[in-house]
Structure 1
Amino acid sequence: MNYYLFTIEYDGTDFCGWAKQKGQSTIQGEIESALSRVARNSTFRVVGASKTDSGVHANDQKAWVELDFKPNLPGFLKALNNALPLGINIKNAKEIEQSYRVRNCIQKTYHYNLNFGDDDVFKNRYWFKPKYHIDLDKLTDCLELFVGYHDFKNFSGLKGEEFNIIESKRIVDEIKIVTIGELVKIVFKAKGFIRYQIRMMMGAALAYATGKTDLNTVKDVLNCKREKLPFMAEAKGLTLYNIQY
């Protein structure tokens, strides 16, 4: 068998997330479908580094790919990209050892994008445009609560038995706000995030910044003294920007 690391970018708007689902168009599913058409009668496996949610984008998704043949990589990637739908592109591929652990990264970086300027059709799919005033100082104060080691079970989509399988205690290395004119980019860095974690943290911060909740309530929810908040930021503002190994 032969093993490769794919670097993939995608516009997640038209897809139901990364992970393959029966009856749904997903990034993994479309890549596997393209592989089955380009490499007929071959066997393969695809393992993604990050299971991005429905509607979330990626600039630097990684995938471990097992093939039962050794392709000519430039021609193979060209054929795969021609077989993929608009919105998914395999940027490059390199040969790796079977033992390469694609999910065991040093750090993942996500960006959440806010547009406080005019409507722009070239940003509408990737930038969340609030319809209300947001106090950036309050947004910053709330986001700072999430930096460091916490139990993020109240800021996750974990349910039932998942709490026994998936560790909800995580370290968020950094949350930074970068302002470029009327565009605001919130940078999240950690070794890994739980399902919906960034969107729920952003949802709480946006709620506080618009007066829908108070900081003590957010603190209590983070410290597991209260139930989850009913806020989640829209998926389209979130992009998996980089994975560092």
Structure 2
Amino acid sequence: MNNFYLMSIQYDGTNFSGWVKQTNKKTIQGELESAFSKNAKLPVKLLGASKTDAGVHALDQKVWIELDYTPNLTGLKNTLNKALPNQIFINSIINVDNNFKVRNVKEKTYIYRLRFEKYDVFRQYYTYFWNLPKFELSKLKEVLNLFVGTHDFLNFSGLKINEIDKISPIRTINDIQTNILDSELEIIFKAKGFIRYQIRTIMGCVFAYLNNKISLQVIKETLELKHPKLPYIADAKGLTLISIDY
């Protein structure tokens, strides 16, 4: 009889090619499967709740696992954490029902962090340094507000036209909040789900707008699919998956 579990894991995505396992590339999923195979030496099925991109970090990625044995969960967590690279850490492992769906989430929270005014070498892999010492917070909130609600985010994603039959570009962003701490700005996105590169393309256009490279009207028309996709995407290192709620 198979058993089902839910892991919460955190990782520094700097040197990984994203969550999804890929041939000849270091990925989070690949490292987890390798840790299981080296230590448990038994089959495992893994499914992540969020397919984070290369360079993106996580504090609470959720991972569904199926095992054909019953482990001691504390021992399994400790054993796997010893086997995993220092950039990946399992926070917890709990039992779940066999009908639990890891991707059927209530809400995901991501934060895009950027620094302004002061460069910090110790934060260089976790924040984007934005060399714009002064900006209007009201102007930032105005452009971010365009993306709240339900929209067709095709022009603000990494989707290609031939993918929209399988992956819908219509998504709902529940809320976008801003928080300034010293020389660091946090932009918090909340939604049931995001598409590939969605937050990064939004932030790329936000930066371009605040640098007076594009107008608010152009961004609005791009979101409404009245304007071609814009050539802006923010650096992955500023983005972190904070939490996933069920």
Task: Give the TM bin, normalised by the shorter chain.
Answer: over 0.9
Q: What amino acid does structure 2 have at the position aligned with 1:87?
A: Q
Which residue of 2 is the match for residue 188 of structure 1? 189
Shift of 1:115: 1.0
Change (3 A) 1:220 1:134: farther
Q: Distance in 1 between matches of 2:139 and 2:227?
A: 21
Deviates more, 1:232-241 or 1:116-125: 116-125
Number of equivalences: 244
Which residue of 1 is the match for residue 219 of structure 2? 218
Q: What amino acid does structure 1 have at the position aligned with 2:144?
A: L
Deviation per CA, 1:58-79: give whole Å up to 9, x if none: 0110000011111111111111
Deviation per CA, 1:79-125: give whole Å up to 9, x if none: 10111112000110001112110000000000000111422232111
Q: What amino acid does structure 2 have at the position aligned with 1:100?
A: F
**What is the root-mean-square deviation of aligned Cα atoms in Å?**
1.0
Q: What amino acid does structure 1 have at the position aligned with 2:178?
A: I
Which residue of 1 is the match for residue 20 of structure 2? 19
Which residue of 1 is the match for residue 110 of structure 2? 110
Which residue of 2 is the match for residue 65 of structure 1? 65
Q: Distance in 1 between matches of 2:220 and 2:120?
A: 35
SS of equivalent to 1:12:
coil
Q: Distance in 2 between matches of 1:95 and 1:24?
A: 30
Shift of 1:159: 1.4
Q: What amino acid does structure 1 have at the position aligned with 2:242?
A: Y
Q: Distance in 2 between matches of 1:208 and 1:229?
A: 11
Q: Distance in 2 between matches of 1:76 and 1:152?
A: 40
Shift of 1:134: 5.4
Aligned residues of 1:133 and 1:210 also touching (Cα < 8 A): no
Q: Distance in 1 between matches of 2:206 and 2:160?
A: 23
**Following TM superposition, where does structure 1 have runs of at least 4 consecutive aligned residues deviating by more than 3 angstroms?**
none
Which residue of 1 is the match for residue 158 of structure 2? 157
Deviation per CA, 1:184-224: give whole Å up to 9, x if none: 10000000000000000111111101111100000000000
Percent of residue pairs identical: 49
Q: Distance in 1 between matches of 2:199 and 2:134?
A: 18
Q: TM-score, normalised by structure 2?
A: 0.97
Which residue of 1 is the match for residue 90 of structure 2? 90
Which residue of 2 is the match for residue 6 of structure 1? 7
Q: What amino acid does structure 1 have at the position aligned with 2:186?
A: K
Which residue of 1 is the match for residue 142 of structure 2? 141
Aligned residues of 2:158 and 2:197 also touching (Cα < 8 A): yes
SS of equivalent to 1:228:
coil
Which residue of 2 is the match for residue 127 of structure 1? 127
Shift of 1:132: 3.2
SS of equivalent to 1:242:
strand
Deviates more, 1:108-117 or 1:212-221: 108-117
Q: What amino acid does structure 1 have at the position aligned with 2:196?
A: R
Shift of 1:49: 0.0
Aligned residues of 1:134 and 1:206 also touching (Cα < 8 A): no
Q: Distance in 2 between matches of 1:158 and 1:90?
A: 31
Which residue of 1 is the match for residue 177 of structure 2? 176
Q: TM-score, normalised by structure 1?
A: 0.97
Shift of 1:138: 2.2
Aligned residues of 2:6 and 2:94 also touching (Cα < 8 A): yes
Any stretches of 5+ residues in structure 2 without a counterpart?
Answer: none
Any stretches of 5+ residues in structure 1 without a counterpart?
Answer: none
